[in-house]
Amino acid sequence: MPMDSPLSARLEPGRALVALQREWITPEQFREILHCGPDDGPQLERLQREGVIPAERLAEVYGSTVLLAPKAAIERLGEAFIKAAASGEALKKGDWIAARYRILDSLNGAFGRVYVCEAKTGEAYRRGDSRVALKTPLRQHLIGPRALDAFHTEAAQWIALGAHPNIVLAYGVEEHLRLPFLVMEYVEGARSLHHEIQAGRMNWLRALWVAVDVARGLAYAERRLGLVHGDLKPSNLLITREGSVKVADFGLSLCPGLGTDAEADTLAGTFGYVAPEMYLEAPCRTSQTDVYAFGATLFEAVTGRRPFPDDQPWLNRVQDPPDPRRTDPSLPDPFADLILACLQRDPEARPAGFQELVPALEAMHLRLQGTPPPPSLEPDAPAQADALANLAGSWLNLERLGKAEDAARTALRLDPAHWKAHCALGRVRMRRGDFPGALACFESAHRSAPEEVIPFVNAALAARDAGDDQRTSSWLERSIRRCHETGRYAELNAISLLLVERLPADEALDLIARILAEDPAAVMTWNNQAILFRWQGRPDEALASAERALIINPIYAKAWSNRATALVELGRFGEALESASRALELDPRVAAAYAAKATALAQLDQLPEARACLQNGLRILPDHPLLIRACQAFS
């Protein structure tokens, strides 16, 4: 291999590329490492000392496959990755998210996308309506663990709020292609307050109705969780067909125990609605900063413009707010005075919070319009036990096992026969390595809902991990029998490897075909079909099946590994080497990828490199039988 610098100078950029691809360092940090010379020392270790990369992540980077490519090649790979991440290719209409939500439409924003989806049969979150909205940030806003944690924090806060007529309901979190998706209520026919203002359809009467509903929603969030929204503005307020208002996008909200002090002391929000104190050196978001944004929103609703010029929003630091009656003389004095009170420069001069504003606004509505403000329709929300089971699943997706267990147990106290809550508790125990305990939970789920397939499937996986061969076979057989009875096979995707390992090939292929006919995005099944084809001596079909899995999920390490093994069997060793290396960049714990890479290196007359590859694998996966056999073969 051509060398453009000493090996020690190239190891660091290679490992930095691995860290970049796992989003553990930013593009700027990656480029900084590229520009360091051999005498600058190991820059990744410097980042670890500075707290940028946790020690365990640094250890994984140094234990992973090192790209022994010239520095110029590493730079090209890095820039290609950064460009792909920044482009954030949107999913298309008809695509599936997490194999459960089919995209009907999408809305693009500066920081994320919202997909309007139809939930798969049996997965509806609303009574009588399977439409939901899935929100995800753009990839470039998720680079680095802090950004991902911030999204997870938002999701946890929003879900924990539960149902309120004036807040968009958040159901749970899904993950797809390493992107998190927040599953939300779809408010059909809704229009944002921003669009209503732009269309000239607002006046003080409608603005007062908006004010009451927004204050009710935020008072609930304040009372229930002490929650600060953080980005209140007209585009985050949805007006329903019935005329009521729902607050959306708790994208910068804070909640005790979930955010951090650093997050609280960050200038965030949207200029024009940011409170004066947020421009200080150490800003702190509070209920009063939301109250300021509320005042700015109402000012815009009654006047059609923001309180201060768009190009000089910081003038609120040195000037008093203008009186909205100059623009709309018909604005009643009590309403104008309340707006101005919310816009006071001194936070202490504003209303203390929304729990104080709600009764004041309701009394104002009665006085100015002669009637109390109308109540909003209750959201078509799940029952409390259902909502808690959904929340438990979301905490699992966020890797917060303690929270997941608490939510599942609370759901079971409300409904001891709630099968989804039993399954959520079982999944918690699976993650903690308590496989017998997990199996007991899944068996309880089955007793509560004997017609459901998911408890059968989960019980088969738990029995396998518990080393109980007999019960694994029993639950597998019962899973298959139930799918035959219902005519639905997609749930078998999770145990498609068990189908391959434990059934005759023809029967396994038949079931795999049924799974894929029902769910063409069942990525695990495509990958496991590749394994079966390889075992049958059909490497061309194995390659096609692995590549189909990679079309669905381009970062599926096991599919890259299966592709590499199929390419080895086809004698395409250069391509196999690239595919195995890609698998190990994504996940250095895939033993088969080390074996495929070592085989490809040996066939390319690089036997020392092949042995080094296997030794590297054994450092990460000590005593792995596949790697031990491969080492013996190349000794």
Convert 412-474 into a string of H (helix), E (strand) and C (coil): HHHCCCCHHHHHHHHHHHHHCCCHHHHHHHHHHHHHHCCCCCHHHHHHHHHHHHCCCHHHHHH
Q: Which CATH number fits domain 96-185: 3.20.20.10, 3.20.20.80, 3.40.50.300, 3.30.200.20?
A: 3.30.200.20
Q: Are 515 and 524 in contact (CB under 8 A)?
A: no
Q: Is the pLDDT of residue 254 over 60?
A: no
Q: How far apart are CA 169 and CA 524, in angstroms?
A: 31
Residue 254 three-state SS: strand
Phi, psi of 155 (to 5 degrees): -60, -45
Alpha carbon 122 to its chain centroid, in Å, reads: 22
Q: Confidence class of residue 25 from pLDDT cuts 50, 70 and 90?
A: confident
Cβ contacts of residue 540 below 8 Å, gap of 6+? 566, 570
Tell me the average pLDDT across 519-539.
Answer: 92
Q: Is the pLDDT of residue 357 over 90?
A: yes
In the block, residue with structure tokens 């730079």:
75
Domain at 533-635, CATH homologous superfamily: Tetratricopeptide repeat domain (1.25.40.10)
Which tokens hold the place of 243? 């005329």
Q: Is the pLDDT of residue 81 over 80?
A: no
Q: Is the pLDDT of residue 255 over 50?
A: no
Q: How far apart are CA 9 and CA 158, in angstroms?
A: 47
Tell me the average pLDDT across 540-566.
Answer: 91
| Triad 131, 132, 135: Cα angle to 5° | 150
Instruction: In the chain, list all ranges with CATH 1.25.40.10.
Output: 533-635
Q: Confidence class of residue 162 from pLDDT cuts 50, 70 and 90?
A: confident
Q: How far apart are CA 192 and CA 161, in angstroms?
A: 21
Q: How far apart are CA 348 and CA 325, in angstroms?
A: 24
Which amino acid, residue 631?
C
239 beta partners: 191, 245
Q: What is the pLDDT of residues 94-113, one digit of tens each?
A: 887 876 788 999 887 656 78
Tell me the average pLDDT across 431-456.
Answer: 94
Please choose, from the candidates 408, 407, 414, the residue with its C-alpha nearest in 3D space to the C-alpha of residue 383.
414
Lowest mean pLDDT among 58-72, 548-562, 585-599: 58-72
Alpha carbon 123 to its chain centroid, in Å, reads: 18
Q: How far apart are CA 483 and CA 460, in angstroms?
A: 14
Q: Is the pLDDT of residue 359 over 90?
A: yes
Which tokens hold the place of 67? 């790209």
Q: What is the pLDDT of residues 588-619, one digit of tens each?
A: 899 999 999 999 999 999 999 999 999 999 99
User: Residue 54's pLDDT is what?
Assistant: 67
Q: Are 283 and 265 in contact (CB under 8 A)?
A: yes
Lowest mean pLDDT among 124-138, 312-326, 555-569: 124-138
User: Residue 146's pLDDT is what?
Assistant: 64
94 dihedral zone (left: phi>0; alpha: psi -120 to 50; beta): left
Please give the CATH architecture assigned to the domain spanning 191-369: Orthogonal Bundle (1.10)
Instruction: In the chain, list all ranges with CATH 1.10.510.10.
Output: 191-369
Q: How far apart are CA 388 and CA 408, in angstroms?
A: 6
User: Residue 1's pLDDT is what?
Assistant: 32
Q: Is the pLDDT of residue 438 over 80?
A: yes
Tell me the average pLDDT across 307-325.
Answer: 90
Alpha carbon 360 to its chain centroid, in Å, reads: 39
Instruction: In the chain, list all ranges with CATH 3.30.200.20.
Output: 96-185
Q: Please count the other Cβ atoms lying within 10 Å of the Cβ belonging to residue 8.
A: 9
Tell me the average pLDDT across 196-219.
Answer: 95
User: Residue 3's pLDDT is what?
Assistant: 35
Which tokens hold the place of 349? 């001069």
Phi, psi of 118 (to 5 degrees): -105, 125
Q: How far apart are CA 87 and CA 448, in angstroms?
A: 46
Q: What is the pLDDT of residues 44-55, one digit of tens each?
A: 777 777 767 766
| Residue 197, CA atoms < 13 Å, CB-side half-sphere | 22
User: Residue 141's pLDDT is what?
Assistant: 64
Pairing between strand 179-185 and 131-137? antiparallel
What share of the chain in percent tops pLDDT 90?
A: 51
Handedness of CA 588, 589, 593, 597 (dihedral sign): positive
182 beta partners: 135, 173
Tell me the average pLDDT across 627-634.
Answer: 90
Q: Is the pLDDT of residue 6 over 50?
A: no
In the block, residue with structure tokens 């690239």:
578
Which tokens hold the place of 338? 């309340």
User: Residue 13's pLDDT is what?
Assistant: 72
Cα dihedral 114, 240, 328, 362, rounded to 10, equals: -120
Q: Confidence class of residue 266 from pLDDT cuts 50, 70 and 90?
A: very low
Q: Is the pLDDT of residue 121 over 80?
A: no
Alpha carbon 634 to its chain centroid, in Å, reads: 42
370 dihedral zone (left: phi>0; alpha: psi -120 to 50; beta): left
Q: Are 314 and 269 in contact (CB under 8 A)?
A: no
Q: Are 530 and 543 in contact (CB under 8 A)?
A: yes
Of 296 and 161, the structure prediction assigns the larger pLDDT to 296
Lowest mean pLDDT among 248-262, 315-329, 498-512: 248-262
Q: Please count the other Cβ atoms lying within 10 Å of the Cβ belonging to residue 318.
A: 8
Cβ contacts of residue 285 below 8 Å, gap of 6+? 228, 230, 252, 254, 264, 268, 269, 278
**In Å, what is the CA distance from 622 to each residue of 18, 595, 609, 625, 627?**
22, 14, 19, 9, 9
Of 218 and 585, the structure prediction assigns the larger pLDDT to 218
Alpha carbon 418 to its chain centroid, in Å, reads: 26
Q: How far apart are CA 625 and CA 232, in angstroms?
A: 57
Residue 88 host element (H or E): none
User: Residue 246's pLDDT is what?
Assistant: 95
Classify residue 204 by burial, with Cβ atoms within 10 Å: 0-12, 13-18, 19+.
buried
Which tokens hold the place of 344? 């006071």
Can you give the pTM of this predicted structure? 0.66
Rounded mean pLDDT of the chain?
84
What share of the chain in percent tops pLDDT 70?
A: 82
User: Residue 265's pLDDT is what?
Assistant: 37
Which tokens hold the place of 281? 């050196």
Please choose, from the candidates 19, 11, 4, the residue with its C-alpha nearest in 3D space to the C-alpha of residue 72.
4
Q: Confidence class of residue 367 from pLDDT cuts 50, 70 and 90?
A: very high
128 dihedral zone (left: phi>0; alpha: psi -120 to 50; beta): left
176 beta partners: 179
119 beta partners: 101
Cβ contacts of residue 271 below 8 Å, gap of 6+? 310, 313
